[in-house]
Structure 1
Amino acid sequence: QNPQNWPDSWKLLIGFQICILNFSVYIGSSVYISGAGDIMKDFGVSQTVATLGLSLYTVGYGIGPMLWSPLSEFPKLGRNGIYVYTLLAFVLLQLPTGFATNMPMFLIFRFLTGFCGSPSLSTGGATLMDVYDPARVLYGICIYSSFGVLGPVFGPIIGGFVAPAKGWRWTIWVFTWLDACVLLMLFFLLPETSAANILLKRAKRLRKATGDKRLRSQSEIDAAHHTLRDDLVILSRAFTLAFSEPIVFFMDLYTALLYGVLFLWFESFPLVFGGIYGFDSGAQGLVFLGIFVGAIITVPLFLLWVRYRITPRLTDPSFKPEMLLPPMFLGAAALPICLFWYGWSAKESIHWIMPIIGSSFFTVGVVTLFNPVFNYLGMGYPAYPASIFAGNALFRASFGASFPLFAPALFHRLGIGPGNSLLGGIAICFVPIPFIFHYYGERIRHMSKNARHDI
């Protein structure tokens, strides 16, 4: 019954469900962008207020993991119940969202749906660590995080065709149906993967079968001495780790920048491909395929690097988590290259394919920054993976929610080229972070009481 010993086919099914869940919740953020214009007309609000529909959803799934992820580490609760019940609430809350009669009602339920849909965005990585050994979890987290990127990418593609044909409410119904199907799949096919929860249930069954009250799991023995203060410490763990651990804080900050730029950057696509090149709404959605093509090229190359450079060294006594970070050197350069290329090639005198090619470099940055960070944090803090990933989700959501709010002012006042150059300059300021932690991360880890010290 140990999840680490389950058949590969069973593990693959679990991984598939977690990836699809991640995709289906993330798509709910960006698919909204295509219907923002209709919302402005229906409710008579400004562009900034309409953008709050994206921002509050993002805030919701940033705050949610700070509660749900520590709860999933309670042996009595486990992970499965958190996934199923929160996703059920997520699907049901789409009804008042899609039938909203005014903007305040719409915004409140957008926040609540984001909050309830959030467990997959952080706890999913912990589920993969439950079932896979350290060598294969590197592949799993890469594929899992790639699905998290594909959600925001495919959202505008789908919304670009749905919103003009059916209106903004149908952008809600499309991913609601998707999540309802995912909910049924999880209910029937997703097993509990928390080892502590499995052992606790086994101890209860044995006590009932034998009548021997001495049979207890380790988590029950530990919980016998727990106080309310201990439970509150567990619930606040995601906050404390995010803000008290230098490695966690700066890695979270870097991925948050990437995520914030992604959502802010999406706001410039209608200005470039609609305003400059005259694309209709459907074609504007299709330009996001440049980012998808970048993922098709980059993800396999990253997995090959893991296969030949990392996996053989995992059993080496000299292996350090910092050895996972070199791909970040490439990602740190790819992000500003993307922003400068995209920004300054978006001109009527230059063919539209050039900014699309430039946008593909964004995926290089996403894949080679996100994946090493997730794997590094998971390996450096293996005792608290759900809480670690929850803190990362909070940082990413905070930036993803706030950046789009000043996108109109940024691009209208500075222009596409200078606006992207400003973002590229900020990205350059973050370039030293992976180099610092690659060379000094081990020393910093060993100064922490929460990080791993044995390697």
Structure 2
Amino acid sequence: MPGIFRDAPFGQICRMVLGPQVFPYPDEKEGFQFPVPESEKKKSVSIHGDVERAEPDENSLSPPSGSESESKSDHQSVSWYSDGDLENPQMWSTAKKTFTFFQICLLTFSVYSGSAIITPAQPVFIHIFGVSAQESSLMLSMYVLGYGVGPLFFSPMSEVPRLGRNIPYFASFTLFIIITAVTSRVSNFPGLVVLRFLQGFLGGPVLATGGASAADIFSFPKISYGLIFWGGAALAGPALGPLLAGFSVPLTTWRWSMYELLILCGFSWLLLFFCLPETNADFILLKRAQRLRRSTGNEKLRSESEIKQGNLQFLNLLGGYLTTPFLVMLRDPSIAFINLYTGLIYGIFYSFFESFPIVYTQIYGFSVGITGVIFLCVIIAFIFGGSTYLCLTKFHYEPYTLKYFVGSPEHRLLPGVFAAFIAPFGIFIFAWTSREDITWVAPTIGIVLYLSCVFILTMCIFIYLPMSYPRYAASLFAANTFLRSAVACGAIHFSQPLFNNLGIGKGCSVLGGLTFGCFFGIFAIWKYGDKLRARSTFAQVY
């Protein structure tokens, strides 16, 4: 438990203000001695205390085990002290991993729920501000666009070893809460639109960095288990947002949607501040190298990330990470298509927020609050989709990984091929059963079928993207988040005239047809993605 407090923002701030004697690391304690390989034990060096020791010769490397000789750049590499080093996130106990990743999922859920939590208030905005239905939808679309743009600027920073994951998490989420508090008190429509965009913009880095954090904590064969729950949080957030505010807004004021978001995010922030440890291995080792340089006076000690980056300036390094999301889409057509396809299925998901009032309020006569309860079908979809993918992971992909390790990234897309084929049928069921003479259960079944397939597709994509270019995981997720958010933003606005002009049946059939057409694209990437990646100029640079 002290280790969790020490590595969380709270502990790091305490160490900065009060000194390293508060929450000390093992290598800062009296009598610490480097663990070294058996062959090097005679050369082990005690850092603190008066332990008798033999001085290493100029070419020996006394610090951490796993380092065999001094690097060609005349630096000594600082790595994990042993294979079971407890500062290595992948060596944490199951309880610590679970608690840490629960916080990341909660942060993801909190930010995502902020998107649709305001939708029950859209009719209120039409009344009190005198705006059209399209203008009122800006409350949702600007937030969605914002959390697509935000990761492009902030999330790649989490790939910079000098920043780690917690600095982007803490900075962006704190600003997100501040902007949410301001949004809850604004009294003019243009101000609300701008602030809703800023809310999404500042919350976006939290969303795009979660997948990279999962890769930090879980070993490769186990990462799918973490991503299943992270994906569930991402899916449940927008779906349960209307439920959170569906009963309070009609009875009080639209501001309660923001108050409820503040309560949820306030609890998430407290956990983040006091209990979320750093998960980026490069950042942890960089900080270890800095501590060892201070305690030993040996300026040759460097972490691997410092050695690789050499004297590269921080701004140049950051610029490279910020341009990566665009470069990978331009140079690898398979990644570009995956991002566009994710945008389509995400846009259809958000179009449901415009179709639900038409179907369940106008056709079936449900109240705003009860219509919000219908979104609980997303949880049912997560249970079906998550259970299916969990079984695939347990009985096929985990044994496959243990045998072939990475294997073919395209092999991870195979469940997505089947899901992409089935998903349009869910849309068609929703489209043509949304009638007064057919029970409301029928279109709801269509939603469950579609979203179950979407969940499986999303899991396949979340695995495929970082496997394609592991080093740029956060940048790949940032690009994916941007594309799907941009398409979803447009979908929120084109879905209203689409449904009003064509009706639910024909309007959703258009979306179902597009979805079925994209099935052939997913099939092509599964079949030929490795050849496309081999020909991409980004792969050659990488």
TM-score band w.r.t. shorter chain: over 0.9
Aligned position for 1:257? 344
Matched, 1:164 2:240: no
Matched-pair identity in %: 37
Equivalent residue in structure 1 for 2:211, among 125, 148, 151: 125
Residue 94 (structure 1) aligned with residue 180 (structure 2): yes
In structure 2, the partner of 1:79 is 165
Does the 8 Å contact 2:417/2:526 carry over to 1?
no
Compute the RMSD of aligned alpha carbons. Answer: 1.7
Please tell me whether residue 178 in structure 1 is matched to residue 264 in structure 2: yes
Counterpart in 1 of 2:465? 377
Tell me whether 1:238 sits opposite 2:325 in the alignment.
Answer: yes
Deviation of residue 75 (structure 1)? 1.1
Which of 146, 151, 158 is the matching residue for 1:60? 146
User: 1:451 & 1:376 partners in 2: Cα distance?
Assistant: 15
- 1:135 and 2:221 are equivalent in the alignment: yes
Q: 2:527 aligns with which of 432, 439, 442?
A: 439
Equivalent pair of 1:36/1:50 in contact (CA under 8 Å): yes
> Is the Cα contact below 8 Å between 1:334 and 1:364 reproduced in 2?
no
Aligned to 2:102: 16
Counterparts of 1:349-364 in structure 2 under 5 Å? 349-364=437-452
Q: Report the TM-score when normalising by structure 2.
A: 0.81
User: Where does residue 401 of structure 2 map in the other structure?
Assistant: 314
Q: Measure, in 2, the Cα distance between the counterparts of 1:204 and 1:453.
A: 31
Q: Which residue matches 1:208?
A: 294
Q: CA deviation at 1:335?
A: 2.2
Give the number of the structure whose alpha-carbon radius of gyration is greater.
2
Q: Out of 507, 528, 537, which is 1:419 matched to?
A: 507
Deviation (angstroms), 1:359: 1.1
Q: Distance in 1 between matches of 2:428 and 2:476?
A: 32
What residue identity is the alignment partner of 1:209? S
Matched, 1:153 2:223: no
Q: Report the equivalent of 2:374.
A: 287
Contact 1:79 1:194 in 2 (8 A): yes
Q: Secondary structure at the match of 2:302?
A: coil
Q: Is the 8 A contact 2:430 2:442 kept in 1?
A: yes
Shift of 1:242: 2.6
Q: Kindly indicate whether the alpha-carbon contact (under 8 Å) linking 1:381 and 1:450 is maintained by their aligned counterparts in 2.
A: no
The residue matched to 2:470 in structure 1 has which SS?
A: coil
Distance (Å, rounded) in 2 between the aligned partners of 1:107 and 1:61: 14
User: Is the deviation greater in 400-409 or in 381-390?
Assistant: 400-409
Q: Deviations over 1:114-142 (max 9, x none)?
A: 11111221110000101111111011112
Select between 265-274 and 438-447 the one with higher mean Cα deviation: 438-447
The structure in which a higher percent of residues are helix is 1
Counterparts of 2:299 and 2:241, CA distance in 1? 53
Cα displacement (A) at 1:413: 0.7
C-alpha distance in 2, partners of 1:104/1:260?
24
In 1, Cα distance between the equivalents of 2:437 and 2:404? Answer: 57
- How far has the Cα of 1:280 moved from its partner? 0.9
For 1:133, the aligned partner's letter is: S
Residue deviations 1:66-89 (CA, integer Å, cap 9, x gap)? 111211111111111110111111
Whether 1:276 and 2:366 are equivalent positions in the alignment is no
249 and 165 in structure 1: CA distance in 2 versus 1, 3 angstrom threshold: same
Change (3 A) 1:368 1:452: farther
Say whether the 8 Å CA contact 2:155–2:206 is kept in structure 1: no
2:311 corresponds to which residue? 225
Instruction: Work out the number of aligned pairs and report it.
Output: 454
Which of 188, 192, 195 aligns to 2:278? It is: 192
1:291 touches 1:361 (CA, 8 Å); kept in 2?
no
- The corresponding residue for 2:67 is none
2:331–2:536 Cα contact (<8 Å) kept: no
Query: Is 2:431 the counterpart of 1:346?
Result: no
Relative distance call for 1:409 and 1:244 in structure 2 (3 A) is same
d(CA) in 1 for partners of 2:440, 2:517:
29
Whole-Å separation in 2 of the counterparts to 1:395 and 1:445: 20
Change in CA separation of 1:275 and 1:445 when aligned onto 2, cut-off 3 Å: same
| TM-score, length of structure 1 as denominator length | 0.96
Equivalent in 387, 393, 397 of residue 481 of structure 2: 393
Which amino acid counterpart does residue 414 of structure 1 have in structure 2? L
1:225 positional shift? 3.2
Q: Is the 8 A contact 1:23 1:150 kept in 2?
A: yes
Shift, 1:449, TM fit = 5.4
In 1, distance between residues paired with 2:532 and 2:470?
16
Please give the secondary structure, in 2, of the residue aligned with 1:322. Answer: helix
- Measured against aligned partners, the alpha-carbon deviations of 1:259-304 in whole angstroms (never above 9, x if no partner) come to 0011112201111111111111111111122232122122112101
- Between the aligned partners of 2:430 and 2:456, the Cα distance in structure 1 is 19
1:152 Cα offset (Å): 1.1
Cα deviation for residue 249 of structure 1 reads: 0.7
The reply on whether 1:407 has 2:482 as its aligned counterpart is no
Are the aligned partners of 1:293 and 1:360 in contact in 2 as well (CA < 8 Å)? Answer: yes
Structure 2 Cα separation of the partners of residues 156 and 231 of structure 1: 38
Quote the offset at 1:234 in angstroms.
2.0
Moved more, 316-325 or 152-161: 316-325
CA contact (8 A) 1:55 1:400 kept: yes
Aligned counterparts of 2:378 and 2:279: Cα–Cα separation in 1: 33
Whether the 8 Å contact between 2:172 and 2:206 is mirrored in structure 1 is: no
> Is 1:2 aligned to residue 88 of structure 2?
yes
